[in-house]
Structure 1
């Protein structure tokens, strides 16, 4: 195994809240997959929910070396959790093609949230 990519991101929840207030559904449709949108409707802490997905998707795009360009966008990734609550990232569409091309075997995901910030890191290994 060898590390082939690392991505991280942090978001200020106050700033995110202001963006959400300004753009609402339009912002959600840009950031969240259909599955995530359905989950969003059921969650109580909506800003925290959006923030976690925002940072994890930013980190994922950085870990594969592309960032958001050339067909890679927020909907290229989806955040899920295993039965114990451990976060997982699902690579979709063009991101999945890059994932396969890089021959990624392991994806390590970590998210931490505090009162004002959410931080995520992704490490990919071959």
Structure 2
């Protein structure tokens, strides 16, 4: 397996909670896919799950070497999905998919009440 990129990001959950309270649906729809919104809103502590997904999107952008809003990559081009057993994975759309050029994207997520972190490996 040839590694082509790695990214990591750490997000403060209170920051995302504040964004959700201040900007609500506008923030959600600009940053997350419909599937991510449905999943997070169904969780007992939505802000923790939104924060983990936010961190994952940042980590993917770092692994791609593009950042968000650069080279056509936007927030919703990167989607965190879950298998039936709960394992997270990344689906890439649009410009993010083009930049990944057929790479496999591996992700690990973790969160507490205060922090959420994601690590991504492109291979």
Q: What TM-score do the two structures reach when normalised by structure 2?
A: 0.91
The change in CA–CA distance for 1:37 and 1:9 in structure 2 (over 3 A counts) is same
- Where does residue 72 of structure 2 map in the other structure? 71
Contact 2:48/2:113 (<8 A) preserved: no
Partner of 2:11: 11
Partners in 2 of 1:32 and 1:120 — Cα distance? 16
Deviation at residue 83 of structure 1 after TM alignment: 2.2
Q: Which residue of 1 aligns with 2:23?
A: 23
Give ranges in structure 2 of 5+ residues lacking alignment.
none
Give the 5 Å matches for 1:106-121: 106-121=104-119
Q: Distance in 1 between matches of 2:39 and 2:15?
A: 22
For 1:86, the equivalent position in structure 2 comes to: 87
RMSD: 1.4
* Structure 1 residues not aligned, in runs of 5+: none
Instruction: Extract structure 1 runs of 4+ deviating beyond 3 A.
Output: none
What SS does structure 2 have at the residue aligned with 1:63? helix
Q: Could you tell me the TM-score, scaled by structure 1's length? A: 0.89
Matches within 5 A, 1:28-43: 28-43=28-43
From the CA coordinates, give the structure whose radius of gyration is larger.
1
